[in-house]
Amino acid sequence: MDIDTIAAISTPLGEGAIGIVRISGQNALPIIDNIFKGPSGKKLREVPSHTIHYGHIFDPKEQKIIEEVMVSVMKAPKTFTREDVVEINCHGGLLSVNRVLELVLTHGARLAEPGEFTKRAFLNGRIDLSQAEAIMDLIRAKTDKAMNNAIGQLEGRLSKQIQKLREELLAVLAQVEVNIDYPEYDDVEEMTNKLFAEKALYVKTEINKLLETAKQGKILREGIRTVIIGRPNVGKSSLLNSFAQENKAIVTDVPGTTRDVIEEYVNVRGVPLKLIDTAGIRETEDLVEKIGVERSRKVLQEADLILFLLNNNEQLTDEDRNLFDTIKGMDAIIVINKTDLHQQIDLEEVERRAEGRKIIHISVKDDQGIEDLEETIANMYLSGNIETDDLTYVSNARHISLLHQAHQSISDALQGIESEMPVDLVQIDMTKTWELLGEIIGETVHDELINKLFSQFCLGK
């Protein structure tokens, strides 16, 4: 049997209605024919492509039925991997799926590496590298907008833009080669520089447009690491529960109840927040609480956004003032909680210490002011509006880095033209830009990077 026929479980392990074992490769059909028995007795290699068939997985060695299944047959090249693909749909129990997989491996397939199905789709020209990365973005999407952006990239929206820029650069590089090789005219250098300048400026402008979307795109992909801080018992855990709309954190009137960092992904008006509830930051002799406070201080330094909670019913304390000093220069929203109680806090001092940062008044208990807080967060990061249907948002850190490098390279080319550098030197920067853009879609990427990227995928994908 061909060792390059791969198989893996493509559904999450555990109990479920259905479990799927996926096989891909030139021996996918012979393997399934060895272990599948249908009512008609017909071999699956003889059935039409993209059909599904009822029957049983049968162990020829033990002469017994292993599972009742539905088998999907998809023949090359119109498959995800552009190879013959078989998907065995069986009952979703852990033992059931594993027994089917073991039988498939026994009959000639090998266990797929993480992401190997998608890797084969890339290597066989079914998708480019940016589309392959979009598959993982789609799986990990936390909001509708993040999912729509990933779908757009999977459909090739970014790929088409990058490919267009590469074609523009390739055309001008080819024209320059012609001008250099056939210098019949005295003004050939002037013509070449003019052509270079026009195309380089166009490419630089288009790269700029993509980079302008990078901040919002990265937020859509990775979320905003949002840390809730404040001294004990100001309502941090209650706020997290309000955002999550369930009781993720224990809430009591006893200060110091939260002893460790609690994380939860929430969707705030299309903005994915990785919300982190911290132990109240204060001096304490309690060993366990002290460890929690230290962890809180650590995550605070890694935060993209800080929600600093104060108690409307109490005067500012030295602990509050120390926290104001701690978050100096950081992106933060000052949240005054418990507005359902009598005001004791000095608002003038809060405004002075806030240093122009937004102050929101809320009552988590009465569900008041939460919408204002959500709107403030959305406005801070997505300008309150993001249209993923009509615009490509660059969200992948690798793509952003390559675009920055390409921007620098094309800027060097423009500077060389303005400085009247020799054409062949300017050509080097233009070619480098073309290569960097090619790395985004996998046209000029190294094998080591490809292996590293696909190793981050789950088995069976």
Q: How confident is the model at residue 181 (pLDDT cuts 50, 70, 90)?
A: low
Residue 460 in this model has a pLDDT that exceeds 80: no
Q: How confident is the model at residue 196 (pLDDT cuts 50, 70, 90)?
A: confident
Residue 91 in this model has a pLDDT that exceeds 70: yes
| 4-13, 168-177, 297-306, 430-439: least confident range | 297-306
Distances (CA, A) of 291 to 232, 279, 382: 15, 9, 35
The answer to whether 295 touches 202, Cβ cutoff 8 Å, is: no
Q: How confident is the model at residue 259 (pLDDT cuts 50, 70, 90)?
A: very low
Residue 183 in this model has a pLDDT that exceeds 60: no
What does the alpha-carbon distance between residue 27 and residue 288 come to, in Å, rounded to a whole number? Answer: 58
For the chain, give the percent of residues with pLDDT over 90: 41
Mean pLDDT of the 355-381 span? 90
Side-chain-facing half-sphere of 96: CA atoms under 13 Å: 20
Q: Identify the pLDDT of residue 250.
A: 36
Residue, of 261 and 47, whose pLDDT is higher? 47
For the chain, give the percent of residues with pLDDT over 70: 84
Q: How confident is the model at residue 436 (pLDDT cuts 50, 70, 90)?
A: very high
Q: Identify the pLDDT of residue 73.
A: 96
Q: Identify the pLDDT of residue 445.
A: 73
| 257-266, 297-306, 378-387: least confident range | 257-266
Please tell me what DSSP assigns to residue 45.
G
Residue 184 in this model has a pLDDT that exceeds 70: no
| 152-166, 241-255, 361-375, 393-407: least confident range | 241-255
Assign 389 to helix, strand or coil. Answer: coil
What is the DSSP code string of 127-190? S-HHHHHHHHHHHH--SHHHHHHHHHHHTTHHHHHHHHHHHHHHHHHHHHHHHHH---STTHHH
Residue, of 196 and 54, whose pLDDT is higher? 54
**CA torsion through residues 107, 108, 111, 115, sign:** negative
Residue, of 266 and 260, whose pLDDT is higher? 266
In the chain, what's the furthest Cα-to-Cα distance?
88
Residue, of 178 and 146, whose pLDDT is higher? 146
Mean pLDDT of the 100-113 span? 94
Range with top average pLDDT, 211-215, 325-329, 354-358: 354-358
Strands 6-9 and 359-361: unpaired
The answer to whether 270 touches 218, Cβ cutoff 8 Å, is: no
Q: Identify the pLDDT of residue 255.
A: 42
Q: Identify the pLDDT of residue 385.
A: 46
The answer to whether 368 touches 362, Cβ cutoff 8 Å, is: yes
Mean pLDDT of the 382-405 span? 70
Distances (CA, A) of 227 to 47, 81, 220, 305: 57, 42, 18, 6
Q: Identify the pLDDT of residue 391.
A: 55
181-193 residues labelled b (16+ CB within 10 A) or e (exposed):
eeeeeeebeeebb
Instruction: Catalogue all structural domains in the chain, each as residue range(s) with its CATH number.
Output: 6-123 (3.30.1360.120), 132-213+394-454 (1.20.120.430), 223-382 (3.40.50.300)
Residue 315 in this model has a pLDDT that exceeds 70: yes
Q: Identify the pLDDT of residue 192.
A: 67
Mean pLDDT of the 277-304 span? 62
Model pLDDT for residues 333-352, shown as the tens digit of each residue: 999 999 999 999 999 999 99
Assign 94 to helix, strand or coil. Answer: helix
